[in-house]
Amino acid sequence: MRDLRQQGSLKIGEVAQLFRDLAHDKNFEPIEGSYVRAADPAAFAAGCVVDVCASTDDRPYFFFTGLSRFTDFGCYFDGAGTSILGGIVMMLSFMGVAFALLVAILIVLPLLLRRPESRFGRRTGFAVILYFAGIGMGYIAVQISFIQRFVLFLGHPVHAISVVLLAFLLSIGIGSACSERLFRGRLTLGRAIALLAFVLVLYDILLPWLFHSPAIAWPIEAKIALSVALIFVLAFPMGVFFPHGIRLCERAAPELVPWAWGANSAASVIGSILALILAIHCGFTVVAMVAALIYALTVLPAALLLRRAALV
C-alpha cells in the first residue's frame, strides 16, 4: 500500500485484488492482529487504506468499513472496492452526489436563473437558498447525531429514535411559536446562533460524562424525562430560525416562500446523508461542530442579504 501511494497509483481495485490474494495466505496475519500488535497503532492505522481504528461511543460504526483518508474519497465511487469497503458507505456517497445534482438542477438553478424583479432579485434567491438550506442541513445533522448518542443512554435504538424525535419536534415547535415574540425583544440571530453553538459545545463535554455516570442505571421513565429536558435546551433555540427566515422572505420577496420550503426540505435530505458519512469517519462530536458552523456561515450572511432586499 505504501508503494502504491508513493507511486500515486493507488486504485481501490488493485487494493481489493491484493486483499483477496493475501487474505488466506498463511504467511500474512489478519490486519486486525497487525494493528493490535503494532508498536505504534496510530501510525499503522494511518498507513492503511481502510479505517481499522477501534470503534468508540462517539464513532460506533464497527459494522461499516470506510476509508482512512479523505484524499482517497474518490475510491468510494469505484465499484471494484465493494469487497473491502462498506457497501452502505459507498451507497451513501453515490446518493449524496445524486441528490446534490437533483437539488442543483430542480431548485438552485431555476431560482438563480429566474428573471429578477429588482436589483436584489438574483441575490435574494441566493440568500433564500443559503438561509433555508443551511438550517435544514444543520438541523438534520444535529438530530441524527443525538439519536445515535442517546441509544447508549436509553438502552435501545427504538427508545432513542422515539424519544429524540418527539423531543426535537416538540421543542422546535415551541421555539417556532415563540420566535416572533423573542425577536421583537432582545433576541438577535447572532445571539441565537451563539446560544446554539454554546449548547452544542457544552453537550459535547457533558453527554459523554452523563452517559458513563450512575444515571445510566436510572429507571427508563427517569432517563426519558432527563433526555427530553436536555434536548429541549438545545432544540428550542433551533426552532426560532425557520419562522424568522419566512418573515424575512415575505418582506423581501414573498414569491420565494415556496422555494424556501423546497430548499429546506431538499437540504434536509442531503444533510442526513452527509451527516452519516461524516459520523462514520469522524464521529458525532465533529458532526455537531460542523452543524454549528453551518448555522453560523449560512444564516447570518443570508439574513443580512434578505434584510437589504426588504428595504428596497
* pLDDT single digits (tens) 178-211: 999 999 888 888 899 999 999 999 998 899 899 8
Domain with CATH 1.20.1250 in the chain: 89-310
- Greatest distance between any 2 Cα atoms in the chain: 76
pLDDT band at 49 (very low <50, low <70, confident <90, very high): confident
- Identify which of 262, 294, 266, 299 has the alpha carbon closest to the alpha carbon of residue 278: 294
Range 23-50 burial, b when 16+ CB lie within 10 A, else e:
eeeeeeeebeeebeeeeeeeebbeebbb
| Helix boundaries (H) for 185-256 | 189-211, 220-238, 241-252
pLDDT at position 120 over 60: no
Q: What is the pLDDT of residue 30?
A: 74
Whole-Å CA distances, 142 to 108, 234, 287? 24, 9, 7
Measured on CA atoms in the order 98, 99, 102, 103, is the torsion positive or negative?
Answer: negative
CATH code: domain 89-310 is 1.20.1250
Distance separating alpha carbons of residues 268 and 199, to the nearest angstrom? 21
User: How does pLDDT run across 137-165, given as a tens digit for each residue?
Assistant: 999 999 998 998 899 899 888 999 999 99
pLDDT band at 119 (very low <50, low <70, confident <90, very high): low
Q: What is the pLDDT of residue 1?
A: 59
Distance separating alpha carbons of residues 89 and 68, to the nearest angstrom? 13
Question: Which amino acid type is present at position 191?
Answer: R
In this predicted model, which residue has the larger pLDDT, 251 or 309? Answer: 251
Q: What is the pLDDT of residue 311?
A: 67
Q: What is the mean pLDDT of the chain?
A: 84
User: How does pLDDT run across 250-291, given as a tens digit for each residue?
Assistant: 888 888 899 899 999 999 999 999 998 888 888 888 998 999
Q: What is the pLDDT of residue 7?
A: 60
Burial of 103 (0-12, 13-18, 19+ CB in 10 A): buried
